[in-house]
Structure 1
């Protein structure tokens, strides 16, 4: 029976059925989509046992089954658990003053985003005052592997965790500049870790460049990320270095404001 990270010593009187259910929940959370055969192999159980466990999770809202592929994905009850585990503060409210200062310093469009599976969900934005500027993505999602802010957040995971996010490979998204396979993404994430920032040169939209950093808190974990985006006409290696420096300072200011 597999266990999760940092589980510590097993309980004195373990309940195998509960352990299987919790292990299955972790598999759903990590993989985002699983087939019945994968559940059987992961739990080391027969088909009927795996099917009954999945049926109960569907009944309680912790899983949904795709009617075409017959695979299982996390259900709406996962969202309820996630809200219960969220930090007891409003991230947008905490970051907003820092975002305003970052926009003033860089003169470009700046975003706050969070990692949701393999996507970035943009939570807040300050648009550049320039006529030629990158437009707001607040309230929208973009594929994490093609965005600077998404790469920065993905880079906080190890290679195994990233592979688990893409069990069927990387879907085509953005422009032809975006990576198209997991190995290429892992190589890019190693460069992101080395630099300390994610980079996007026209991978989501042609003519748009950006850099991003992750905001990792020692107690709350990955809170989100910050990015600076601009038209390629206003981009250079020197400007990119300045934006990265401003982002790192901004991330430190966010952490100082987190209760």
Structure 2
């Protein structure tokens, strides 16, 4: 369903010196990645100007970092944005701070305003992992282990991550047209999923309605890093009937406000490091 890798005396050889051109290429790549880290996106023309190279050289370098996952181009001819590898680096830095400690007061405050299960979800390329949960509803709809076992396309938080990936990456994750359903309401085709992800990109939030567990619905909004990359998802889940149009209209502003507060606190903690 569409929602909205012995010698005892080894021979020692002196490594060949790196050529000036290879060193220059590495330097250009690092400068490009630094720009993406701080600015979020860049065009081919801006890359050529930044590096002092021709358009064709700029385009080749952008394609190289894109193929390696450090950048992403969402449409042909469009700007290049920070990719999922930069997200991995950001998550490495984030792992050095106590994300639960930062987020907890915001989860607690949100739980006072919304009678539901509130989850802070960290995501990888194929699964979603619960970092913390603040349970305020009387019904236990899911557990962290349950969430970690679910395919991303059946989770509101998973759809947020998938919406940031290139079509090439999505095709590697989902090589077949038919997707494995979890419930009768799960998305079951790649075409259907791509349409759903396009809607998520436009709306900047994701919803699931009984797609990983029939009685359960959820809404998820992003928690962002310093360069606008998605670090995780703040998700509110509850009985599916509470996530109709009216329920979403009432909950979305509250969830977004809590996500912004968590993001602001993460940024402040990272700046202090």
Return the match for 1:116 from 117, 124, 129: 124
From 101, 106, 111, give the equivalent of 1:98: 106
Distance 1:255 1:84 in 2: 13
Instruction: Give the whole-Å Cα distance in 1 for the aligned partners of 2:197 and 2:257.
Output: 21
Per the alignment, in what secondary structure is the counterpart of residue 212 of structure 2?
Answer: coil
C-alpha RMSD of the superposition: 3.5
Match of 2:144, SS? coil
1:137 aligns with 2:144: yes
Select the structure of larger CA radius of gyration: 2
Count matched residues: 196
- The answer (yes or no) to whether the contact 2:209–2:243 under 8 Å persists in 1 is no
Shift of 1:90: 2.1
Indicate the residue corresponding to 1:35 in structure 2. none
Aligned counterparts, 1:171-250, within 5 A: 171-219=179-227, 221-250=229-258
Q: TM-score, normalised by structure 1?
A: 0.64
1:166 is displaced (CA, Å) by 2.4
TM-score (norm 2): 0.61
**Runs of 4+, deviation exceeding 6 Å:** 81-84
Contact 2:137/2:238 (8 A) holds in 1: no
Q: How does 1:1-150 map to 2 (within 5 A)?
A: 6=32, 26=68, 85-87=92-94, 88-130=96-138, 132-137=139-144, 140-141=147-148, 142-150=150-158
CA contact (8 A) 1:127 1:135 kept: no
Secondary structure, aligned partner of 1:225: strand
Question: Highest relative contact order (Cα 8 Å, sep 6+), 1 or 2?
Answer: 2
Unaligned residue ranges in structure 2 (runs of 5+): 1-25, 34-46, 52-63, 72-87
- Structure 1: unaligned runs, 5 residues or longer: 10-21, 31-80
Change (3 A) 1:138 1:179: same
